[in-house]
């Protein structure tokens, strides 16, 4: 199942243990606006998008995975599918594992 940006945002927020009100406050936005973004009724401005990524400790790619048009990197289909279903914490763990494996090679 593919997740839209708002759904990924909500998943990341919950994974970090934040309420919508807490995240909205951290990003200096209205909680209603955040709920609209999570419900796919609004698209965040670039400064708000960056703030959301920073506060949730996720990459823009994590939130935009299903929004971006496939490009030459689409050969990573299997990894991409796994990545899409991972939580931000799981992504951090996998990233550390891959980094360690590459350093040992």
Q: What was the pLDDT predicted at 11?
A: 93
Rounded to two decimals, what is the model's pTM? 0.65
What are the chain's domains? 5-104 (1.10.260.40)
Rounded CA-CA distance 46/27 in Å is: 12
Q: What was the pLDDT predicted at 105?
A: 81
Rounded CA-CA distance 21/77 in Å is: 35
Long-range pairs for 36-43: beta carbons < 8 A, 24 or more residues apart = 37/5, 37/6, 37/9, 38/6, 38/7, 38/9, 38/10, 38/13, 39/6, 40/4, 40/5, 40/6, 40/7
Q: What was the pLDDT predicted at 65?
A: 76
Tens digit of each residue's pLDDT (9 = 90 or more) over 18-75: 999 999 999 999 999 999 999 999 999 999 999 999 999 998 888 887 766 555 455 5
Cα 82 from chain centre? 14
């Amino acid at each position: 199942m593919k997740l839209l940006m708002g759904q990924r945002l909500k998943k990341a927020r919950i994974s970090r243990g934040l309420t919508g009100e807490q995240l909205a406050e951290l990003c200096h936005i209205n909680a209603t606006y955040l709920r609209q973004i999570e419900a796919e009724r609004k698209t965040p401005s670039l400064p708000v998008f960056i703030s959301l990524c920073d506060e949730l400790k996720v990459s823009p790619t994590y939130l935009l995975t299903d929004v971006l048009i496939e490009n030459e990197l689409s050969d990573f289909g299997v990894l991409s599918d796994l990545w899409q279903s991972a939580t931000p914490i799981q992504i951090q763990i996998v990233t550390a594992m891959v980094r360690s494996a590459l350093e040992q090679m």
